[in-house]
Amino acid sequence: MADQQVLDDFFAKAKAALDLPAATYEDAYQLGGPELADELAALVKTGQKTATTSGFELYTIEQDPLPIAGVYNIILDRQDRPVALTFTDNVFVTPFTKIDATIARREGEGSQSLASWRTAHEAFFRREYQANGIQFDPASSMVVVEEFHTVYPIVQAR
Protein backbone atom coordinates (compact mmCIF):
# COMPACT_ATOMS: atom_id res chain seq x y z
CA MET A 1 0.00 0.00 0.00
CA ALA A 2 1.37 3.39 -0.99
CA ASP A 3 2.34 5.79 1.77
CA GLN A 4 -0.34 8.50 1.91
CA GLN A 5 2.15 11.26 2.73
CA VAL A 6 4.31 10.31 -0.27
CA LEU A 7 1.23 10.43 -2.52
CA ASP A 8 0.10 13.76 -1.11
CA ASP A 9 3.61 15.23 -1.52
CA PHE A 10 3.79 14.00 -5.13
CA PHE A 11 0.42 15.56 -5.91
CA ALA A 12 1.41 18.81 -4.19
CA LYS A 13 4.55 19.03 -6.40
CA ALA A 14 2.50 18.39 -9.53
CA LYS A 15 -0.14 20.89 -8.47
CA ALA A 16 2.49 23.57 -7.84
CA ALA A 17 4.40 22.86 -11.05
CA LEU A 18 1.30 22.99 -13.20
CA ASP A 19 -0.94 25.35 -11.22
CA LEU A 20 -3.60 22.63 -11.26
CA PRO A 21 -7.16 23.64 -10.40
CA ALA A 22 -7.92 20.29 -8.72
CA ALA A 23 -7.98 20.15 -4.97
CA THR A 24 -7.02 16.48 -4.95
CA TYR A 25 -6.60 13.33 -6.99
CA GLU A 26 -9.15 10.54 -7.33
CA ASP A 27 -7.00 7.44 -6.86
CA ALA A 28 -3.48 6.00 -6.85
CA TYR A 29 -2.89 2.59 -8.40
CA GLN A 30 -0.63 0.24 -10.32
CA LEU A 31 -1.42 -0.70 -13.90
CA GLY A 32 -1.27 -4.40 -14.79
CA GLY A 33 -0.53 -5.62 -11.29
CA PRO A 34 2.90 -5.95 -9.69
CA GLU A 35 4.42 -7.96 -12.56
CA LEU A 36 3.78 -5.19 -15.11
CA ALA A 37 3.59 -2.09 -12.91
CA ASP A 38 7.10 -0.74 -13.57
CA GLU A 39 6.91 -1.24 -17.33
CA LEU A 40 3.45 0.30 -17.67
CA ALA A 41 4.20 3.19 -15.31
CA ALA A 42 7.28 4.03 -17.41
CA LEU A 43 5.11 4.09 -20.57
CA VAL A 44 2.65 6.44 -18.84
CA LYS A 45 5.46 8.67 -17.59
CA THR A 46 6.80 9.16 -21.13
CA GLY A 47 3.34 9.72 -22.62
CA GLN A 48 3.51 6.56 -24.75
CA LYS A 49 0.64 4.91 -22.85
CA THR A 50 -2.55 7.00 -22.99
CA ALA A 51 -5.18 4.31 -22.45
CA THR A 52 -5.75 1.29 -20.26
CA THR A 53 -8.32 -1.47 -20.30
CA SER A 54 -9.76 -3.45 -17.41
CA GLY A 55 -12.30 -6.23 -17.07
CA PHE A 56 -15.81 -4.86 -16.52
CA GLU A 57 -17.05 -7.91 -14.62
CA LEU A 58 -14.25 -7.52 -12.06
CA TYR A 59 -15.69 -4.19 -10.91
CA THR A 60 -18.91 -5.97 -9.93
CA ILE A 61 -17.14 -8.77 -8.10
CA GLU A 62 -14.77 -6.45 -6.26
CA GLN A 63 -17.58 -3.90 -5.71
CA ASP A 64 -15.37 -1.12 -7.03
CA PRO A 65 -16.85 1.95 -8.72
CA LEU A 66 -16.08 2.38 -12.41
CA PRO A 67 -13.44 4.98 -13.23
CA ILE A 68 -14.72 8.41 -14.15
CA ALA A 69 -13.60 11.06 -16.60
CA GLY A 70 -12.44 14.48 -15.49
CA VAL A 71 -10.24 13.40 -12.57
CA TYR A 72 -6.56 13.13 -11.75
CA ASN A 73 -4.96 9.80 -10.79
CA ILE A 74 -1.50 8.85 -9.60
CA ILE A 75 0.17 5.91 -11.36
CA LEU A 76 2.39 3.80 -9.10
CA ASP A 77 5.35 1.57 -9.77
CA ARG A 78 5.81 -1.94 -8.39
CA GLN A 79 6.92 -0.56 -5.01
CA ASP A 80 3.85 1.70 -4.85
CA ARG A 81 5.93 4.82 -5.48
CA PRO A 82 4.27 7.61 -7.51
CA VAL A 83 5.56 7.83 -11.07
CA ALA A 84 3.07 9.98 -12.97
CA LEU A 85 -0.07 12.04 -12.58
CA THR A 86 -2.71 11.49 -15.25
CA PHE A 87 -5.96 13.20 -16.17
CA THR A 88 -8.76 10.90 -17.32
CA ASP A 89 -10.28 12.23 -20.53
CA ASN A 90 -12.84 9.53 -21.32
CA VAL A 91 -14.18 6.25 -19.93
CA PHE A 92 -16.39 3.78 -21.77
CA VAL A 93 -17.51 0.16 -21.56
CA THR A 94 -17.38 -1.98 -24.69
CA PRO A 95 -17.17 -5.64 -25.69
CA PHE A 96 -13.61 -7.02 -25.70
CA THR A 97 -14.08 -7.84 -29.40
CA LYS A 98 -14.85 -4.18 -30.21
CA ILE A 99 -11.44 -2.87 -29.13
CA ASP A 100 -9.87 -1.38 -32.25
CA ALA A 101 -6.36 -0.58 -33.46
CA THR A 102 -6.58 2.98 -32.11
CA ILE A 103 -7.09 1.80 -28.53
CA ALA A 104 -4.43 -0.90 -28.95
CA ARG A 105 -1.96 1.76 -30.11
CA ARG A 106 -2.93 4.13 -27.26
CA GLU A 107 -2.26 1.32 -24.77
CA GLY A 108 1.39 1.74 -25.85
CA GLU A 109 2.47 -1.81 -25.09
CA GLY A 110 4.45 -4.30 -27.17
CA SER A 111 4.20 -3.79 -30.91
CA GLN A 112 1.09 -1.64 -30.35
CA SER A 113 -0.78 -3.74 -32.93
CA LEU A 114 -4.33 -4.92 -32.38
CA ALA A 115 -3.25 -8.58 -32.67
CA SER A 116 -0.58 -8.11 -30.02
CA TRP A 117 -3.02 -6.26 -27.76
CA ARG A 118 -5.63 -9.02 -28.04
CA THR A 119 -3.15 -11.80 -27.30
CA ALA A 120 -1.65 -10.06 -24.26
CA HIS A 121 -4.94 -8.81 -22.84
CA GLU A 122 -6.83 -12.05 -23.33
CA ALA A 123 -4.13 -13.89 -21.36
CA PHE A 124 -4.11 -11.17 -18.67
CA PHE A 125 -7.90 -11.12 -18.32
CA ARG A 126 -8.10 -14.92 -18.18
CA ARG A 127 -5.69 -14.89 -15.20
CA GLU A 128 -7.46 -12.01 -13.47
CA TYR A 129 -10.92 -13.48 -13.92
CA GLN A 130 -9.79 -16.94 -12.82
CA ALA A 131 -8.25 -15.45 -9.67
CA ASN A 132 -11.72 -14.03 -8.92
CA GLY A 133 -13.56 -17.29 -9.57
CA ILE A 134 -15.07 -16.41 -12.93
CA GLN A 135 -14.25 -17.12 -16.55
CA PHE A 136 -13.18 -14.57 -19.13
CA ASP A 137 -14.82 -15.14 -22.51
CA PRO A 138 -13.39 -12.91 -25.24
CA ALA A 139 -16.57 -13.35 -27.29
CA SER A 140 -18.89 -11.99 -24.59
CA SER A 141 -16.87 -10.20 -21.88
CA MET A 142 -16.98 -6.45 -21.56
CA VAL A 143 -14.03 -4.17 -20.84
CA VAL A 144 -13.66 -0.70 -19.38
CA VAL A 145 -11.46 1.62 -21.42
CA GLU A 146 -9.90 4.66 -19.79
CA GLU A 147 -8.34 7.26 -22.05
CA PHE A 148 -6.02 9.71 -20.31
CA HIS A 149 -3.04 11.95 -20.71
CA THR A 150 -0.02 12.41 -18.49
CA VAL A 151 0.18 15.84 -16.92
CA TYR A 152 3.14 15.32 -14.56
CA PRO A 153 5.95 14.96 -15.05
CA ILE A 154 5.46 17.15 -18.07
CA VAL A 155 5.66 15.05 -21.25
CA GLN A 156 7.40 16.54 -24.25
CA ALA A 157 5.31 16.67 -27.43
CA ARG A 158 5.81 13.56 -29.55
Q: Would you say residue 1 has pLDDT above 80?
A: no
H or E segment and range at residue 88? strand 82-95
Q: Confidence band (pLDDT; 50, 70, 90) for 154?
A: confident
Angle at Cα 125 formed by Cα 155 and Cα 106, nearest 5°? 25
Domain ranges of the chain: 4-151
Instruction: Tell me the pLDDT tens digit for each residue of 92-137.
Output: 999 999 999 999 999 999 889 999 999 999 999 999 999 999 999 9
Q: Confidence band (pLDDT; 50, 70, 90) for 157?
A: low
Instruction: Tell me the pLDDT tens digit for each residue of 46-86.
Output: 999 999 999 999 998 888 999 999 999 999 999 999 999 99
For the domain with range 4-151, which CATH number is right: 1.20.1250.20, 3.40.50.150, 3.10.400.10, 1.20.1510.10? 3.10.400.10
Rg for the chain, CA atoms, rounded = 15
Strand order in the sheet with 27-30: 27-30, 72-76, 82-95, 142-152, 51-55
The CB-side HSE value for 24 (13 A sphere, CA atoms) comes to: 6
pLDDT of residue 33: 87
